[in-house]
Amino acid sequence: MDSIDLDVLKTAVAWLDAGHRAELVTVVKTWGSSPRPVGAMLAIRDDGRVVGSVSGGCVEDDLIAQVRERGITRRTPEVLSYGITADQAHRFGLPCGGTITLAIEPLHTAEGLRALLDGLEGRALLARTLDLRSGASSLAPAAPGAVLECSATHLTTIHGPRWRLYIIGAGQLSRFLAQVASAMDYAVTVCDPREEYRAGWDLPGVPLVHEMPDDLVLQARLDARSAVVALTHDPKLDDLALMEALKSDAFYVGAIGSRANNAKRRDRLQLFDVSPAQLARLHGPIGLYIGSKTPAEIAISILAELTAVKNGVPGHLRLAHADALETPGGPACALA
């Protein structure tokens, strides 16, 4: 689930608990270019306050104006389209003549959304079905790969748990990576059993655990919304974590180091009964090539690649660090 949309659900529950009325707005279909994808959400309060987004801003402005003018009057869901004509597309800031269809759901109680949030906290993959005629909603387990579906009578949205990132090593690069990933709403955990690195870790909201990395990876029960990044340069630590992560369902497994060191790492991992197919999932040298030379830039590079993989960008469209290593003075993260 998009971190913005998770914030939408939490904020809507808080508004309802405080006695406000609110509506939940979901993108159900787009044509042409659209600033936000199908499934993106926005909540609007009875005073016009909003959280989340469904467009570049002008659709939100229209929704806010309607609420401020008439209040929240819907008793059942309504499906609206913006940008069907060229004039509307220009008015609502939809690029290239794009159009967008929204389902607007009046929220009468917080209990349904609270149940959804509880399920997500338990790392469930859930389908929420809304009856567009009555406004009644229900939750059920979602099948892997399920997508949003909208008919004349029902809207089913898919909600997955928060994305997780496990960082092996508590050095300076790990600190920058954890900070940026946390801002992207990853649940970040750092693992480093070395006392000399643990003593200086004080990043709020990012726990540092002391067990061996392979034990952590096994305990985490990695799923398709989990990533592991090994940054210690110590084979005794990195290899153990990678060995278990590559056998899991984690969507991304990466390790820092030069091409030469990564080749040696791959040879070592094969000795640990890691299959060729599993080994092929390893990203290393890690990150996209952006000319990065500082820890902060390298962290951005790593998260750029991780995001591209998460979003399904084909490998041939990603310029890896390995492609740039022939150039003298290449990326700092590839020098070790």
Cβ neighbours of residue 13 under 8 Å, at least 6 residues apart? 110, 113, 114, 117
Identify the pLDDT of residue 155: 97
pLDDT at 143 (0 to 100): 86
Q: What are phi and psi of 145, to 5 degrees?
A: 90, 0
Cα 237 from chain centre: 27
Q: Which two tokens stand for residue 140?
A: 């059920």
Sheet holding 154-159, edge to edge: 137-141, 126-131, 154-159, 149-150
CA dihedral 317, 319, 322, 324 (to 10 degrees): 140
Which long-range contacts (C-beta less than 8 Å, at least 24 apart) are formed by 213-221? Answer: 213/168, 213/237, 213/238, 213/240, 213/241, 214/240, 214/241, 214/243, 214/244, 216/166, 216/189, 216/191, 216/241, 217/166, 217/241, 217/244, 217/245, 217/248, 218/244, 220/164, 220/166, 220/189
Question: What was the pLDDT predicted at 48?
Answer: 95
Predicted pLDDT of residue 139: 96
Which residues partner with 226 through β-bridges?
A: 164
Q: What is the pLDDT of residue 2?
A: 53
Q: What pLDDT tens digit does each residue of the chain (336 aa) get?
A: 556 788 899 999 999 999 999 999 999 998 766 667 889 999 999 999 999 998 867 888 889 999 999 999 999 999 998 875 556 656 665 555 568 899 999 999 999 999 999 999 888 889 999 999 999 999 999 987 788 999 999 999 999 888 899 999 999 999 999 999 998 889 999 999 998 887 778 888 899 999 999 999 999 999 988 999 999 999 999 999 999 999 999 999 999 998 899 999 999 999 888 999 999 999 998 999 888 889 999 999 999 999 999 988 887 777 665 444 444 344 444 434
Structure tokens at 75: 């008793």
Cα–Cα distance list, 276 to 18, 133, 156, 182, 272 (Å)? 55, 52, 38, 32, 12
Please, what are the domains in the chain? Answer: 3-122 (no CATH), 164-334 (3.40.50.720)
Measured distance CA(145)–CA(45) in Å, rounded? 32
pLDDT at 94: 57
- pLDDT for residue 324: 44
Report the C-alpha gap between 175 and 201 in whole angstroms.
Answer: 8
At residue 122, what is the residue type?
A: G
Residue 134, both tokens: 């009555």
Q: What is the pLDDT at residue 196?
A: 86
> To which H or E segment does residue 208 belong?
strand 208-209
Asked whether the whole model's pTM tops 0.75, one would answer no
